A = this chain, B = another copy of it.
Amino acid sequence: MKIDPRSPADLSAQIAQAIRDAIVSGRLIVDERLPSEAELADQFQVSRPTVREALKRLAAQSLIRTQRGASGGAFVNRLNFEDAYSQQITTSTLLLSMNAVSFDTACEARYALERACASLSAQRRTPDQLATMRAEIFRQAQPGLTDEAFCASDVAFHRALVDGAGNPVLSYQLAGAVEAMQPLMNMITFTARSREEIIALHTDIADALEAGDASSVDAALVKLELYTRKLAQDVAEQRRKPA
C-alpha cells in the first residue's frame, strides 16, 4: 500500500485510492480494523488531517465505518444493499437531471429492465408482494390523491413487481432506474382519465402475475410504457405552446 510522493497535490485522494484498492482486492477483509489515523499518517508520511480526508472519502462510499473510543477506529464495512441502493439512486438521479437524458431514453431503459424482471416475477412473486401491489392499486384509485402521492404509489407498485423476481441484484439495479425517474414523473399532471388508464394496466399486471402468466405481464408493461411516453409527450407539447 504505497502512494507516490512525487505527484504533488491530492495526497488524500491517493491514500483513499490505495486503501480502496486494498479493500476491493480483498487484502483488507470485512470488519477488519484499519490502523489508527495516527499510524496511517506515519505509514503514508502525511499529517493526520490528510489521512482523515482520505478516510472521509471512503466513508462517503460506505467502504468503511468509524467508531470512536478505545478499540474504536475505521473498519472495513460490509456493504449492504440498502447503502448501495441509496448511492445508486443519488447517482442515477443526477445522471438523469444533469446529463439531459431524455425522458424517452430513461423510460425505455426502465421498462426494458422491468420487463426483464417480469417473467421471473410471474414465477416467484410471493402473496405478500402481490398484496402490496393490490394495496397500491387501491391507493391509486382514491379520489383526492395528489400527483406526488400518485407517483410515489406508482413507484411502490413497480418496486414490488421488481422485488417479486426474488433477485436482490435485479432489485438493486432497478431501484436506481425506477426511483431516479420519479422527479421527472412528478412533472406530469395525472388527470382522472389517465389515472384510470394506468390503474387498469396495473390491475392487468397484478392479475397476470397472480395467474403466473408472464407474457400477459409483458404485454401490459409494453402498453404502460407506450402510455407513459405519450403522457410525457403531451406535457412537452403543452410546454412548447402553453396557450
Contact = CB atoms under 8 A, between A and B. Distances in A.
Contact of A113 (B84, B97, B98, B170): B170
Number of copies: 2
A79 B95 CA distance: 6
Nearest to A112: B116
Interface string A76-92: 00111100100110110
A16 interface: yes
A78 B52 contact: no
A94 B120 contact: no
Nearest to A167: B109
Interface of A, helix, strand, loop or mixed by DSSP: helix
Which of A49, A54, A169 is the most central at the interface, judged by chain B CB atoms within 10 Å of its CB?
Answer: A169
Given A60-B61, A61-B90, A167 B95 contact: no
Interface string A1-21: 000000001001100100010
Given A58-B60, A94-B63, A177-B173, A79 B99 contact: yes
Interface string A163-188: 00101111011001100000000000
Interface in A118-176: 120, 165, 167-170, 172-173, 176
A193 interface: no
A200 interface: no
12 contacts: A23-B94, A26-B97, A30-B98, A49-B49, A53-B56, A57-B57, A79-B98, A95-B172, A101-B168, A101-B169, A105-B168, A169-B177
Interface of A: 9, 12-13, 16, 20, 23-24, 26, 30, 49, 52-54, 56-61, 63, 68, 78-81, 84, 87-88, 90-91, 93-99, 101, 105-106, 108-110, 112-113, 115-117, 120, 165, 167-170, 172-173, 176-177
